[in-house]
Structure 1
């Protein structure tokens, strides 16, 4: 078997193929970032054109998150049934339809419907892309390759912030400028659809379907001949008894424990309050003392720091364990939110307070995007065994998006009722609960193959 196409592959070709597959697949993460981040700058311009209230503002923002929850759980099951590659091709098409629909929406009702459709694609990508990357990656590089998805998510958010600032500052006086901000998202969606035609299917999914010859061929595209053969034998040993996961599988005590850890980890990632800043950062900065156009420009700093922090996080995951990295991130995010709340009480509204809040949101995002988010997405892709990986990740990410929905929907109303300080103090309290959960329940998975992680999870 090992003398098949791999022996005719030039040295280094498998590394280039793995790199290409990784970057193409993570266009799904880029779209996740752009479509969640673009609303940050589009909302102030929608308010007049669509006559928004705090309620409809929250509804438009959170409708994508509601769709994403169901997109995630549905995609998890579909990924197990039809494959990771085919599903990403389908999701690229949904991204195109949803983005075009939001840009063309004549009123709040159609906008909410189009955002739900777009959310199905965002949620599907959020579940499938890290799973796909984890199954393509060799064990020694899994942390760095899977967290490239997080890098692309924050790069998408940065691209949204930059597009918003450019469009808003150049054409902000014209009507319907927000439509162009939303329409830009169709471009990376088209690139994802084209690119996925040149990416191999997940070898582990092929193995779970008993398609061993195709599994070996896929491995030989992204591994050396020796690595492909060794990994083929290891995957086949577990995949041979595998089948598509079902909900009743989680009746097994150890699998139920893994599912609860995955769901808990998903909630931890959201209750830091990160998406309150991602979705409403422009308004937070405007309320702190910047004007709308100045806040759009200042908000770019949040995107730049998020990208830099994600790059740092990728490097750190090759050096330190998942648990200490996540705990450090959670302590950092809670501390920054506490400082934002205190500054909003003690400092008068104006430019000085605006810059103080901006500096603390930048540090908050450094901890979040450099530690909390990359570890969360990586560990969700690691902890579930092969036969329930798609379903388990889908259910966990469903919970994550529902928590995200709760934050996105309630934040404008909380701000209106309680003010920025008390709202952020709520997130500080939730952050303390997150630290306690991680210390008590989260296992360490660094340096283990996915098959070794499965054996560890059975014995927790």
Structure 2
């Protein structure tokens, strides 16, 4: 049984934190391994001489090469954007479990297409494979955080959704070091570049088969009036009997929340859309959640992920192996940061403070790197060694990673999965995921051109945006840690200031528990048998 530190919203039986909820969350979030792997391997793989020779790119003008590289990388994000939107009808009609299964199957198809590409097929099949894989990942990036948010106990919800970020970084580290290994140990050939493409099938296959063992979300089952199955699944996930007070109470809260949300716009495919756009508070949450992904990309993370060789070249590192080794260390730091985020920070410090700390530390680091490049112009240095200023710039790049990885890397996904009511969550998560991929597409598509024209200004640009994100987060984003999903509306009430909302809602929750604990008469309590009968009658 897991016994990591946690802050509970109510007294909770220890069985609730069993391996079952962790295992189901890990299977669902394993989709992120594929995302992290792609961000780590693709930029380096297409820069290999063996890849360029295979597809007759060696003698192309640099501007043409930049365009081809940007197209190969960004086709994936374009597919992700549309996949995140398609994830809404998939999640609505098929549920979370079979939606993730379909995403795993589609991803494997896309990965196979990329792997069989050669000089005979040309780049067209790679473009097609990346779009198809992107559609699958977009759908998975929609469904996985929703599923985890819906099955997670409030005290460890941030930690479990944070598994998505952990898997992302595991995939990233794998991608960085596989590229380093094939560059060092495999001669220049078709095999050298195709290995990295083929490895995509491993996480894709694991998601495909692992999703068959998932327990469907009890919240989704309640929306389909499958209440007895919801009770069985909730009992399994909480590792408690079906008549346990904790299980019955939680299911009652879910049912009441779903019934209330249905009354706002009615059931149906378009009901959630009408609910969101008819309520300006939900529109505000939609814009706020989407904007967090814009600020996440404003840190420069995806420019670094997809074009790390260009980044390190601008600092003064030369040689493919040296650049790949430095990038591999960067991936390890991101992984360690994700572990710290997952095990402690997200549910202890909370979401809001993490984002502010990440922005401040990241901005200072980016300003230093930009100033170094502006003053020293390391790309004009013909020496094969890096001077002390260059080493300090690399150090600040790693410092930036230390601040970014446990903050902006995973927190927007956690917040985006938390802040919406159940009845609209599949639709809003589609909006969250698609907005992330839209911003990522823009960065991936135009980063080569940005470095060609802005030079050190790219770092100053990202640093300045990180500074601007601090007041934005402080004044507009309420803290969500330990707040049950069913009480998120209170955080966004019009009469509550975002920077005070968490304290107010937490105080209300404590007062409600005190009142409930004072009710001891038979008329003030509900017997477990009566609750189970009521559940059965709703089927």
Q: TM-score, normalised by structure 2?
A: 0.80
- Kindly indicate whether residue 431 of structure 2 is the aligned counterpart of residue 404 of structure 1: no
The number of residue pairs the alignment matches comes to: 449
Q: Secondary structure at the match of 1:332?
A: helix
Contact 1:322 1:375 survives alignment (8 Å): yes
Give the aligned partner of residue 306 of structure 1.
334
Give the aligned partner of residue 295 of structure 2.
268
Give the aligned partner of residue 26 of structure 2.
23
Q: Secondary structure at the match of 1:372?
A: coil
Given candidates 284, 287, 305, the residue that maps to 1:257 is: 284
Give the aligned partner of residue 365 of structure 1.
401
Contact 2:16 2:153 survives alignment (8 Å): no
Give the aligned partner of residue 453 of structure 1.
488
- Taking the aligned partners of 1:13 and 1:210, their CA distance within structure 2 comes to 24
Further displaced range: 238-247 or 259-268: 238-247
Q: CA deviation at 1:356?
A: 3.5
Contact 1:30 1:155 survives alignment (8 Å): yes
Give the aligned partner of residue 7 of structure 1.
none
Give the aligned partner of residue 3 of structure 1.
none
- Taking the aligned partners of 1:233 and 1:291, their CA distance within structure 2 comes to 61
Higher helix proportion (structure 1 or 2): 1
Contact 1:56 1:108 survives alignment (8 Å): no
Q: Secondary structure at the match of 2:47?
A: helix
Q: 1:14 to 1:339 in 2, by over 3 A?
A: closer
- Taking the aligned partners of 2:219 and 2:405, their CA distance within structure 1 comes to 29
Give the aligned partner of residue 425 of structure 2.
389
Q: CA deviation at 1:261?
A: 0.9
- Taking the aligned partners of 2:434 and 2:210, their CA distance within structure 1 comes to 27
Q: CA deviation at 1:115?
A: 1.1
Give the aligned partner of residue 323 of structure 1.
352
Q: Which runs of 5+ in 2 are unaligned?
A: 1-13, 58-63, 497-539
Q: 1:43 to 1:210 in 2, by over 3 A?
A: same
- Taking the aligned partners of 2:47 and 2:79, their CA distance within structure 1 comes to 23
Q: Report 1:327-342 matches (<5 A).
A: 327-342=356-371
- Taking the aligned partners of 2:352 and 2:402, their CA distance within structure 1 comes to 17
- Taking the aligned partners of 2:391 and 2:327, their CA distance within structure 1 comes to 11
Q: CA deviation at 1:13?
A: 9.3
Q: CA deviation at 1:113?
A: 2.0
Note the aligned Cα RMSD (angstroms): 1.9
- Taking the aligned partners of 2:191 and 2:396, their CA distance within structure 1 comes to 32
Contact 1:22 1:145 survives alignment (8 Å): yes
Given candidates 104, 116, 130, the residue that maps to 1:104 is: 116
* 1:167-220 CA distance string (max 9 Å, x none): 111115224522110110101111111111111001111112221111111101
Contact 1:206 1:214 survives alignment (8 Å): yes
Q: CA deviation at 1:246?
A: 3.7
- Taking the aligned partners of 1:12 and 1:246, their CA distance within structure 2 comes to 34
Give the aligned partner of residue 292 of structure 1.
320
- Taking the aligned partners of 1:113 and 1:354, their CA distance within structure 2 comes to 40
Given candidates 233, 237, 249, the residue that maps to 1:218 is: 233
Q: Report 1:135-284 matches (<5 A).
A: 135-175=150-190, 177-223=192-238, 224-225=240-241, 226=244, 227-241=246-260, 242=262, 243=267, 244=269, 245-249=271-275, 250-284=277-311
Contact 1:49 1:176 survives alignment (8 Å): no
Give the aligned partner of residue 84 of structure 2.
72
Q: Which runs of 5+ in 1 are unaligned?
A: 1-10
Contact 2:91 2:426 survives alignment (8 Å): yes
Further displaced range: 232-241 or 356-365: 356-365
Contact 1:14 1:220 survives alignment (8 Å): no
Structure showing greater Rg: 2
Contact 2:29 2:167 survives alignment (8 Å): yes
Given candidates 128, 134, 156, the residue that maps to 2:143 is: 128
* 1:280-302 CA distance string (max 9 Å, x none): 11232244223112211221101
- Taking the aligned partners of 1:377 and 1:270, their CA distance within structure 2 comes to 13
Highest RCO, 1 vs 2 (Cα 8 Å, sep ≥ 6): 1
- Taking the aligned partners of 1:19 and 1:427, their CA distance within structure 2 comes to 36
Given candidates 50, 54, 61, the residue that maps to 1:49 is: 54
- Taking the aligned partners of 1:402 and 1:323, their CA distance within structure 2 comes to 23
Q: CA deviation at 1:442?
A: 0.8
- Taking the aligned partners of 1:342 and 1:142, their CA distance within structure 2 comes to 40
Q: 1:357 to 1:380 in 2, by over 3 A?
A: same
Contact 2:354 2:407 survives alignment (8 Å): yes
Q: Secondary structure at the match of 1:366?
A: helix
Moved over 4 A (4+): 11-14
Q: 1:176 to 1:284 in 2, by over 3 A?
A: farther
- Taking the aligned partners of 1:355 and 1:49, their CA distance within structure 2 comes to 35
- Taking the aligned partners of 1:458 and 1:118, their CA distance within structure 2 comes to 40
Give the aligned partner of residue 417 of structure 1.
453
Further displaced range: 236-245 or 66-75: 236-245
- Kindly indicate whether residue 475 of structure 2 is the aligned counterpart of residue 440 of structure 1: yes
Q: 1:453 to 1:13 in 2, by over 3 A?
A: closer
- Taking the aligned partners of 1:65 and 1:252, their CA distance within structure 2 comes to 30
